[in-house]
Amino acid sequence: GAAANVACPRLNNKIDEVMFEIGGEADMRNPNWTDDFRLVYVDESLARLYENSRISGEQMPQQSGIERRAVALGRYLQSPLAMVATLCGPGREILSWNLHPLDKFLEPEDKYRMVEQVMVDITNQVGIDINMAVSHEWLISPLQFISGLGPRKAASLHKS
């Protein structure tokens, strides 16, 4: 939200202060040690949807909501496609993601059809690393958007 955006520069300054305090000894050994750190600002609207979704409860039943949101932010940075695909499941939580101010004028079925078409296009352009997806459950969601598979065949393939 807007409040989070206003707080970002303050958070950045605070992180710089903490890194400066931590870096006392590190600075003497390697003056460029902070070059390995990168601060990234991410819109957390998708992570909030995931936090409150049925799928997050299934994937992380022991974690609190804020932990689920933090995981979703990290996953979104690693694979935006997989995170969006996760919310395109049976609950269709993706329909609550506001991408444009005129979204509210679309019928849910029309919006989902458009999201689905974009997901098919992008998934088929980008592809899926099936070995990574097999070892990390959350990366399997885009499989349903591979041309010719769909949700049922993808689920069947995933189970086998």
Render pLDDT for 35-62 as a digit per residue (tens, 0 to 9): 677 777 788 899 999 999 999 999 999 9
- Average of pLDDT values for 15-22? 76
pTM, full prediction: 0.78
Q: Which of 86, 73, 65, 69 is nearest to 133 (CA)?
A: 86
| Region class of 41: left (phi > 0), else alpha (psi between -120 and 50), else beta | beta
Predicted pLDDT at 26: 56
Which single residue is written with the structure tokens 């088929």?
A: 124
Q: Could you tell me how many residues make up the chain?
A: 160
Answer yes or no: are the C-beta atoms of 123 and 145 closer than 8 Å: yes
Task: Give the amino acid at 98.
Answer: N
**Cβ density class 76-99: b for 16+ within 10 Å, e for less:** beebebbbbbbbbbeebbbbbbee
Indicate the pLDDT class of residue 34, thresholds 50, 70 and 90. Answer: low
pLDDT beyond 50 at 1: no
Q: Which of 89, 94, 67 is nearest to 137 (CA)?
A: 89
| Region class of 60: left (phi > 0), else alpha (psi between -120 and 50), else beta | beta
Indicate the pLDDT class of residue 25, thresholds 50, 70 and 90. Answer: low
Which element (helix H / strand E) includes 75?
helix 65-78
Percent of all residues in the chain with a pLDDT value above 90, rounded to a whole number:
53
Half-sphere exposure of 88 (CA within 13 A, CB side): 25
